[in-house]
């Protein structure tokens, strides 16, 4: 069964069904190489016609096989130890033979199911982006359970593969870091070759794990920390009882350094870096960098990568601005192979610093207080730089699971199966956050249950702040729907000076639900408990924006 053909928009129940079914069919397709840990050796479950059960049990007894009744129509069949060996040798034959018996309807190995696979890396519990248990991040923000990329379920399908080469185009990678060491891409002719000799004649001397375009040599060791941090999210060795786990426990990371120690890189070196990764076998490029300069030459280098079938994942930028209005490159180039990534915090909100753009920014991923590997040890960093390797990592994981996919399919699988978050509606083209399991399964997650649009009653409502609002405003607005249990509003327009002028959302008891600032046109407020929603507007002493217009009240 081809998983990519599962219809979209399936209900959660359907999802569970398909998951179980796919476990069976994937195993069935590979009986000869089936992992012996995936079923109990020598055991089969038989679904039989109830009226034939006793006769079959008698038959098995005569054959010196033990059978046990599970229910009226199900038998557990156990081979003795001798026949277990032949069973291991050819499971498919055994299944065929058992199926041919009169009264036997279904034969399956006695499969072993696992709890969602969590790795044993000691710092794993701090990685809220991979598993949000409601833990507090290093800023003290208490996370919302489940606001993560749902990778533990995906790890039941794949934990990565050494067949996938992913280029981290950045400050280099320090492969002396124990969690990164095993997952380095290695150019074998150079690794076994001679110093100062281009052993593989690819035009680059001593490019053992990648290339350094700052120093123009084969040593792409990270002298900043940024590239190693991104690499840890993509592919820190997982389940090794050490440090952190990456999205891919196994992968091959190509270190392509064009950004110097000070965190800056030139266009000339960016182009060389992209060309290098393209010519040397990368399938995915992870790019946690950018700027406002629109370069046709840079765009062409990425177009060449597209022609070679390479997915180019790029950070949306950290200015807190709308990329639809002021572009950020390379994320904003309109190319089919680019995914532009915004940053999310552990409470399902777009990071204040994250750029967005309803047409030019594609998906959000964890980007605040992300723990990962650096040459100095484990460090917590924030930025769309940290969100980007989550998406690149899931692209690599998907490629390990389904190696036939081309870059268009990789991109579509990731974006079409983003998990909807109402705060991302009208801000990010997919309207959602990265979901690794949904991406691998190709099943679209259901709607955001916190979405105010799902409240039963919608009523036109006209309420506005002064336009523009004044300096040092301290004003309260209130909307009441008597008898309502929950209430929310829709802002047709919301523009305040980012991080200086605020609109706090409260209930009648003064409980705070949100403190909004910046640009939230065509956005809902939080859902507030009770029949009243209160908006408390405050501004500082300079630079005042439009304010807000409310056009709808929602309640039930």
Catalytic positions, please? 170, 226, 385
Residue from 19, 31, 111, 242 in contact with Ca ion (CB under 5 A): 242
Residue from 121, 222, 223, 322 in contact with Ca ion (CB under 5 A): 121
The contact mask relative to Ca ion for 62-101 (x = CB under 5 A, - = no) is ----------------------------------------
The contact mask relative to Ca ion for 160-179 (x = CB under 5 A, - = no) is -------------------x
Q: How far is the CB of 254 from Ca ion (least distance, A)?
A: 13
Q: Who's near 412: CB < 8 A, 6+ residues apart?
A: none
Residue 501 sits in the site that holds Ca ion (CB under 5 A): yes
Residue 275 sits in the site that holds Ca ion (CB under 5 A): no
Element (H, E) at 41: strand 39-48
The nearer residue to Ca ion, 208 or 271, going by C-beta atoms, is 208
- Let me know the angle formed at the C-alpha of 408 by 406 and 414, rounded to the nearest 5 degrees: 100
d(CA 88, CA 32): 9
Residue from 129, 160, 232, 243 in contact with Ca ion (CB under 5 A): 243
**Tokens linked to 318:** 């950290």
Residue 556 sits in the site that holds Ca ion (CB under 5 A): no
Q: How far is the CB of 178 from Ca ion (least distance, A)?
A: 8
Residues of this chain, 368-407, that bind Ca ion according to CB under 5 A = none
DSSP H helices, 217-279, are 226-235, 267-279
The contact mask relative to Ca ion for 447-486 (x = CB under 5 A, - = no) is ----------------------------------------
The nearer residue to Ca ion, 189 or 291, going by C-beta atoms, is 189
**Tokens linked to 264:** 């800056």
d(CA 173, CA 197): 22
Report CA-CA distances (Å) from 173 to 179, 371, 404, 552: 12, 16, 28, 51
Q: Who's near 213: CB < 8 A, 6+ residues apart?
A: 256, 257, 258, 269, 272, 273, 276
d(CA 260, CA 227): 11
Q: How far is the CB of 383 from Ca ion (least distance, A)?
A: 22
Q: How far is the CB of 184 from Ca ion (least distance, A)?
A: 14
Residues of this chain, 187-206, that bind Ca ion according to CB under 5 A = 190, 193, 197-200, 202, 204, 206
d(CA 326, CA 328): 7
User: Is the CB of residue 384 less than 8 Å from the CB of residue 355?
Assistant: yes
Q: Which residues bind Ca ion (CB under 5 A)?
A: 121, 179, 190, 193, 197-200, 202, 204, 206-207, 237, 240, 242-243, 497, 500-501, 539-540, 543
């Amino acid at each position: 069964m081809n998983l990519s053909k599962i219809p979209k928009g399936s209900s959660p129940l359907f999802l569970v069904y398909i998951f179980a079914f796919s476990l069976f069919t994937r195993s069935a397709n590979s009986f000869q190489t089936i992992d012996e840990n995936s079923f109990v050796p020598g055991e089969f479950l038989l679904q039989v016609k109830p009226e034939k059960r006793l006769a079959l049990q008698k038959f098995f007894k005569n054959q010196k096989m033990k059978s046990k009744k599970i229910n009226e129509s199900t038998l557990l069949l156990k081979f003795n130890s001798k026949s277990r060996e032949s069973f291991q040798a050819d499971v498919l034959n055994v299944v065929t033979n058992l199926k041919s018996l009169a009264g036997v309807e279904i034969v399956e190995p006695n499969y072993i199911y696992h709890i969602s696979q969590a790795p044993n890396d000691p710092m794993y519990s701090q990685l809220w982006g991979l598993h949000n248990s409601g833990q507090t991040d290093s800023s003290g923000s208490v996370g919302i359970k489940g606001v993560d990329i749902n990778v533990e379920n995906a790890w039941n399908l794949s934990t990565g593969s050494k067949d996938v080469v992913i280029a981290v185009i950045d400050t280099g990678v320090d492969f002396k870091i124990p969690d990164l060491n095993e997952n380095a891409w290695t150019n074998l002719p150079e690794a076994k070759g001679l110093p100062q000799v281009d052993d593989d004649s690819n035009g680059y001397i001593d490019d053992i794990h990648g290339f350094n375009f700052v120093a123009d040599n084969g040593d792409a060791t990270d002298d900043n920390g940024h590239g190693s941090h991104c690499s840890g999210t993509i592919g820190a060795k997982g389940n090794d009882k050490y440090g952190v786990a990456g999205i891919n426990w196994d992968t091959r990371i190509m270190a392509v350094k064009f950004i110097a120690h000070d965190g800056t890189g030139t266009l000339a070196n960016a182009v060389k870096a992209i060309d290098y990764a393209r010519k040397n076998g990368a399938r995915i490029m992870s790019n946690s960098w950018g700027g406002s300069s629109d370069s046709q030459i840079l765009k062409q280098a990425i177009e060449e990568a597209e022609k070679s079938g390479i997915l180019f994942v790029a950070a949306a930028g950290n200015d807190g601005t709308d990329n639809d209005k002021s572009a950020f490159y390379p994320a904003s180039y309109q190319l089919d192979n680019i995914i532009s990534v915004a940053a999310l915090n552990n409470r399902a909100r777009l990071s204040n610093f994250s750029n967005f753009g309803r047409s030019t920014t594609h998906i959000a991923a964890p980007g605040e207080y992300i723990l990962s590997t650096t040459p100095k040890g484990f460090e917590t960093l924030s930025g769309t730089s940290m969100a980007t390797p989550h998406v690149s990592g899931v692209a690599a994981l998907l490629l390990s699971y389904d190696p036939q996919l081309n870059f268009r399919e990789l991109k579509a699988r990731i974006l079409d199966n983003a998990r909807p978050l109402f705060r991302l509606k009208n801000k990010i083209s997919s309207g959602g956050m990265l979901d690794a399991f949904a991406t691998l399964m190709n099943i679209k997650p259901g709607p955001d249950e916190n979405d105010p649009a799902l409240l039963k009653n919608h009523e036109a409502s006209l309420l506005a702040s002064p336009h523009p609002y004044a300096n040092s405003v301290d004003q309260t607005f209130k909307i009441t729907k008597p008898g309502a249990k929950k209430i929310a509003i829709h802002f047709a327009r919301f523009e305040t000076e980012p991080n200086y002028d605020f609109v706090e959302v409260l209930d009648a008891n003064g409980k705070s639900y949100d403190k909004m600032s910046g640009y939230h046109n065509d956005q809902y407020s939080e859902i507030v408990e009770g029949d009243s929603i209160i908006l408390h507007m405050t501004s500082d002493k300079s630079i005042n924006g439009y304010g807000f217009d409310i056009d709808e009240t929602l309640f039930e």
